[in-house]
Amino acid sequence: MSLLSVRDLVVKFAMRDQTVTALNGISFDLNRGERMGIVGESGAGKSITGFAILNLISRPGFIDSGHVMFDGMDLAHTSDKALRTIRGNRIAMIFQDPMVTLNPVLTIGQQMVETLQAHRSLTRRDAEKIAVAKLREVYIPAPEERLQQYPHELSGGMRQRIIIAIALLLDPQLIIADEPTTALDVTIQADIMELLLELCQSNNVSLILITHDLGVVSQMTERTLVMYAGRIIESGRTRAIINDPQHPYTQGLIKALPQQTLPGERLKQIPGNMPALSAIPPGCPFNPRCEYTVDRCRTTIPELVRVGPVEVACHEVQRMNRDTETEEQTA
């Protein structure tokens, strides 16, 4: 039984002159304690996926269709009251930029206590005790004093640790972390990731880690989704995807990793840019940037199909795969 099951999720934005589709039929499952990465370039729809799971898409965006099944409940179609019992309690979220995630006019203590009190009937004193314990878990020095402080008195790294502590307050079953280190100093990025990994493992918490960095995904997760223009174009075990990427886009992402580049050599970027939502080409959305494009890619959208250990949405990969299969059979 999976913990989270997303089915055919479609999210749209009603812009002034047209309605654009930001997520186009996203489906995946996540098991208890499993850690999954979502990768893709900026604008692929990674954050929207994270927010849509918690039904936190705000105007002009909306969930058009699909299901987010969590513990027998469809989070995409349930009451605000039912959603409140899930948000922050059983599914917690860590945002990208810790400098703007905490409320500047409330103390750390207030922001932690209110979270606990929203889900459990606790006195302030008891809530503060739990808060201090969680701050200790994320290695915040002098946690009692932090409760009295305002966010601006703390560094970015410290704030992100506090946000992680807030996410852990109610012992959730799933944490969605949206690029949790992108806004931080490079020197502390690894520390924060390590902390997150340690906490998920020791508490048996599932993790959805959103990032544009395949290197991070390979260290942190067991499974990976690769997104492009609002679709999943490849998914499977992280090791399989890193070692033997099938989709030309995934291959491009891996070639662009600094580890794949010799010193002094230029990073191999994928040419071109991801299309804007209003200008997604017909057929495979990646076709204008792909070196294997054939006519079919410009007319027909490829489905996700199992190819070896992974699922991939690419006509050419599927064709080549079929060819090898026939060869093997004739041989």
Ligand X SMILES: Nc1ncnc2c1ncn2[C@@H]1O[C@H](COP(=O)(O)OP(=O)(O)O)[C@@H](O)[C@H]1O
Question: Can you give the binding site for ligand X, defined by CB under 6 A?
Answer: 13, 22, 40, 42-48, 60-61, 277
Find the binder of another protein among 2, 31, 78, 85 (CB under 8 A).
Answer: 85
Map residue 246 onto helix, strand or coil: coil
What, of another protein, Mg ion, ligand X, none, does residue 119 touch, CB below 5 to 8 Å by kind?
A: another protein
Which parts of 43-62 interact with another protein (CB under 8 A)? 54, 56, 58
Instruction: Report the side by side order of strands in the sheet with 61-70.
Output: 19-30, 4-14, 61-70, 73-74
What, of another protein, ligand X, Mg ion, none, does residue 13 touch, CB below 5 to 8 Å by kind?
A: ligand X
Which residue in the shown chain puts its C-beta closest to ligand X? 47
Nearest to another protein of 101, 287 (CB atom): 101
Q: Pick from 66, 33, 26: which is nearest to 49 by CA?
A: 26
Find the binder of another protein among 89, 206, 218, 235 (CB under 8 A).
Answer: 89
Instruction: Check: CB of residue 232 under 8 Å from CB of residue 218.
Output: no
Q: Is 181 in the site for Mg ion (CB under 5 A)?
A: no
Q: Is 159 in the site for another protein (CB under 8 A)?
A: no
Phi, psi of 122, rounded to the nearest 5 degrees: -130, 150
Map residue 4 onto helix, strand or coil: strand
What would you report as the CA-atom Rg of the chain, rounded to the nearest whole angstrom?
21
What, of ligand X, another protein, Mg ion, none, does residue 43 touch, CB below 5 to 8 Å by kind?
A: ligand X
Which parts of 43-62 interact with Mg ion (CB under 5 A)? 47
Query: How many whole angstroms separate alpha carbon 6 and alpha carbon 195?
Result: 27
The token duo for 308 is: 């070896």
What is the size of the binding site for another protein (CB under 8 A)? 30
Nearest to another protein of 48, 226 (CB atom): 48
Q: Look-up: residue for tokens 């790294």?
A: 157
CA dist list (Å): 48 to 45, 55, 210, 284 = 5, 10, 10, 21
Query: How many whole angstroms separate alpha carbon 114 and alpha carbon 144?
Result: 16
Find the binder of another protein among 21, 24, 115, 189 (CB under 8 A).
Answer: 115
Instruction: Check: CB of residue 152 under 8 Å from CB of residue 104.
Output: yes
Q: Is 150 in the site for another protein (CB under 8 A)?
A: yes
Least spacing, CB of residue 129 vs another protein, in Å: 19
Least spacing, CB of residue 295 vs ligand X, in Å: 27
Q: Is 181 in the site for another protein (CB under 8 A)?
A: no
Query: How many whole angstroms separate alpha carbon 82 and alpha carbon 54?
Result: 11
What, of Mg ion, another protein, ligand X, none, does residue 86 touch, CB below 5 to 8 Å by kind?
A: another protein
Find the binder of another protein among 42, 65, 103, 273 (CB under 8 A).
Answer: 103
Query: How many whole angstroms separate alpha carbon 152 and alpha carbon 135?
Result: 17
Reported as half-sphere exposure (CB side, CA atoms, 13 A), residue 330 has a value of: 6
Instruction: Check: CB of residue 31 under 8 Å from CB of residue 3.
Output: yes
Find the binder of another protein among 95, 228, 249, 286 (CB under 8 A).
Answer: 95
Nearest to another protein of 148, 269 (CB atom): 148
Nearest to ligand X of 51, 70 (CB atom): 51
Query: How many whole angstroms separate alpha carbon 257 and alpha carbon 59?
Result: 36
**Chain residues that interact with Mg ion, rule: CB under 5 A:** 47
- Name the residues that contact another protein, by CB under 8 A: 54, 56, 58, 80, 83-89, 92-93, 95, 97, 100-106, 114-115, 118-119, 150, 152, 163, 166
